[in-house]
A = this chain, B = another copy of it.
């Protein structure tokens, strides 16, 4: 039994199969026996001398560091570069102006988010917010994107837990697709499409993995891969960086819970998470709703998916949600 589903926000179609033979543990794993300190890891304490510049540091009570933000050692984009937009024949080019920061999440080499205490996760989220608020002052930046590559199959170059931030002089295509499409829905219904999806999901409950007072975790109706997750705030908010202390703490909890379920069910897979939030230059908007996409990397995309944007998902999101709820 297969069916073709449309994602209501991006208008992407995907094919879902109903694979009863799917074996959630049959994927490559991140080693569980990583050392607490790896003497070859540039992010581990003791190797700090290799780090040229520290943008931000959160100290622990013994004056060691808890979180450290550094520039990417091979930056894609540079803050120092003057912003220049130009036509080149029929093409459009912008100078490589931007920021590319690495958030080293904790000093220990082997502690992923599912093993951190809530306070430490809150500190990471606060660091995301503080760096965003700082970079947002630079009027050259249109978008600030925060993401995490965990494991080699997700583009993670080190096992030491870290996230990244990229500040961009343009709004990325996937984000403008989301804002444009949700604006159209708002013009039609005068409601936020994300709020409507949340209501729908909570009403029928089929794809809900976890619900707390202020958040819900779902397996999206048109998931691109099996075990794709989406964390959404139940309250309407377009900008991730407007979270208050309590909302941050509750988000830390649900993020930890989501990563735990993923690690448990897929045996520590490579994964990405990505924070989708409204462009920094807009004020709070009624039609866009920030959210976190979590994407385990358990298969390679193939020609069909690359060429069409049509994803093939072997497992029904409803079955995955049921599986994950039991963990």
CB < 8 Å: which of B5, B168, B303 contacts A273? B303
Q: Is the CB of A310 within 8 A of B168?
A: yes
Task: Indicate if A174 sits at the interface (CB-CB under 8 A).
Answer: yes
Q: Is the CB of A274 within 8 A of B303?
A: yes
Q: A172-B309, A302-B155, A309-B172 are in contact. Are A221 and B77 (CB under 8 A)?
A: no
Chain A interface extent, by class = 35 or more
CB < 8 Å: which of B10, B174, B309 contacts A308? B174
Q: Is the CB of B77 within 8 A of A307?
A: no
Task: Indicate if A22 sits at the interface (CB-CB under 8 A).
Answer: no
Q: Is the CB of B302 within 8 A of A149?
A: yes
In the complex, which residues of chain B have a beta carbon less than 8 angstroms from the beta carbon of A152? 300
Q: Is the CB of A91 within 8 A of B308?
A: no
Q: Is the CB of A173 within 8 A of B300?
A: no
Q: How far is the CA of A305 from the CA of B274 in the complex (A)?
A: 10
Shortest Cβ distance from A181 into chain B, in angstroms? Answer: 11
Q: Is the CB of A15 within 8 A of B77?
A: yes
Shortest Cβ distance from A27 into chain B, in angstroms? Answer: 14
Write the A153-184 contact mask toward B (1 if CB under 8 angstroms, else 0): 11110000000101011101111010000000
Q: How far is the CA of A222 from the CA of B90 in the complex (A)?
A: 12
In the complex, which residues of chain B have a beta carbon less than 8 angstroms from the beta carbon of A156? 302
Q: Which residues of A contact B (CB under 8 A)?
A: 1-6, 8, 10-13, 15, 17, 76-78, 89-96, 145, 147-149, 152-156, 164, 166, 168-170, 172-175, 177, 196-197, 200, 204, 221-222, 272-274, 276, 293, 295, 297, 300-310, 312
Query: Can you add 4 more A-B contacts, CB < 8 Å, to A1-B96, A4-B170, A295-B303?
Result: A5-B92, A17-B76, A155-B304, A274-B308
A-B contact pairs, 12 of them (CB 8 A): A5-B91, A5-B93, A12-B173, A13-B172, A17-B76, A91-B222, A155-B300, A166-B304, A168-B308, A168-B310, A173-B310, A175-B308
